[in-house]
Structure 1
């Protein structure tokens, strides 16, 4: 079976949700070229485009990994938690983009502050649930999986959770740029600041350990020891990038 047939078999709910979000990615991508609404100096629909795309990758990754676990009730509850939480976030982000307004860090009114808080609470619940899924991978014996791949999944989830919660630093500061106000010159599409520290970089790289570590473990490494060493280097790199941002130093000038 090809990847998508197998993914639909493993977790049809997250497979379908990923398809819906892929459509959202295409729509917001088109809108980013056909509209002139801007937020912080860039097209307003760039942000929902990136969030839709990230959700596709996350949903399909977790849908694939969950297929290895024998916990059907937990998997069903988790899958629908992901769908409900991320649907709420994506709808709100896209709505605010259409209005030319910030979705995150926006506490300009009581209602905006409430919505920002709700996003933080719901994402935290989903992230903690993802940590629990990671614990199940530590507890489950999966002899059919290469040890490097299994450890890639385990450590990928742990790294994802840690750097997902790194977003709390941005929430506390109500900004992602260190050393200046949000906005200004940044890398194309990613918009990471090229003048100041940017907390989004460690957030992005750390969370995508969820895909990178298992892929490295499956295709390039051959033992759990190699995977643990590689994951440690990866985690240290993410931490260095975070410290660099906190010191107001851009990743690329």
Structure 2
């Protein structure tokens, strides 16, 4: 484990430290949530910033690992600081609002909160589009040291991530992650609806192609055609989750 962390740090030191900062923040927020009874929509108010910090930490470390393969250093440094600024702002604001017992997303109760909600959307879109550019670099640069099946998994993982990260715009336009109604049963902690459609499921499934596909390719499949097929099937799964949600149907 120590060797892995040392390798991760060497590949992209900026995203390594930022990722660790996010993960450490997630751990502290989770501990703090055990001593908080404040809820929003029936859920502990600190669960959302915990999930955000955890997600941003995993994403940053993942991209830190992948960008270690690239040779376009000047672009990578700019990418690093773009992620730190954009994602750092999101984690900070979501955590701040949770600590005050207030909504961060969908909060249009004042001009200031509306502006900050828009700012979060812009930050998320900018980080996502820039990550798409990193995906393009993986299609245009040469990687003679990487197995083709692993390289294709990284490409597919990044592009599926971008597509389903941008699905967040659908959630924002809907004004809620749920489609068809509010209330009803929900999966504990994740708070995904068991009664209505929930756009967060496709969002989650699609974005984590970034980690799942390369891991499957590197350790299990090890064949370009199989990896492409698995990537296609994975994309269909995420699309199915999206269609179910848009039709106000739960997965259960």
Same-fold status (TM-score > 0.5): yes
TM-score class normalised by the smaller sequence: over 0.9
Please give the alpha-carbon distance, in whole angstroms, between the structure 1 residues aligned to 2:156 and 2:48: 28
Please give the alpha-carbon distance, in whole angstroms, between the structure 2 residues aligned to 1:189 and 1:22: 18
Does residue 1:67 correspond to 2:85, yes or no? no
Please give the alpha-carbon distance, in whole angstroms, between the structure 2 residues aligned to 1:54 and 1:151: 23
Please give the alpha-carbon distance, in whole angstroms, between the structure 1 residues aligned to 2:219 and 2:111: 50
Query: Which residue pairs with 1:229 in the alignment?
Result: 229
Please give the alpha-carbon distance, in whole angstroms, between the structure 2 residues aligned to 1:114 and 1:77: 25
Please give the alpha-carbon distance, in whole angstroms, between the structure 1 residues aligned to 2:191 and 2:249: 15
Please give the alpha-carbon distance, in whole angstroms, between the structure 1 residues aligned to 2:157 and 2:13: 23
Please give the alpha-carbon distance, in whole angstroms, between the structure 2 residues aligned to 1:246 and 1:226: 30
**Is this contact kept in 2: 1:177–1:193, CA < 8 A?**
yes
Please give the alpha-carbon distance, in whole angstroms, between the structure 1 residues aligned to 2:5 and 2:251: 35
Does residue 1:193 correspond to 2:176, yes or no? no
TM-score calculated relative to the size of structure 2? 0.97
Please give the alpha-carbon distance, in whole angstroms, between the structure 2 residues aligned to 1:19 and 1:64: 13
Please give the alpha-carbon distance, in whole angstroms, between the structure 2 residues aligned to 1:185 and 1:94: 25
1:1-253 matches, cutoff 5 A: 2-181=3-182, 184-252=184-252
TM-score calculated relative to the size of structure 1? 0.97
Is the alpha carbon distance of 1:35 and 1:184 closer, same or farther for their aligned partners in structure 2, counting shifts above 3 Å? Answer: farther
**Is this contact kept in 2: 1:97–1:103, CA < 8 A?**
yes
| Offset at residue 99 of structure 1 (A) | 1.2
Deviating beyond 6 angstroms after TM superposition, the runs of 4 or more aligned structure 1 residues are none
| Offset at residue 118 of structure 1 (A) | 0.4
RMSD of equivalent CA atoms: 1.0
**Is this contact kept in 2: 1:196–1:245, CA < 8 A?**
yes
1:180-230 deviation line (CA, Å, top 9, x unaligned): 13x553111111011110000000000000000110111111221111110
**Number of aligned positions between the proteins:** 251
**Is this contact kept in 2: 1:40–1:184, CA < 8 A?**
no
Structure 1: runs of 5 or more not aligned = none
Structure 2 SS opposite 1:69: coil
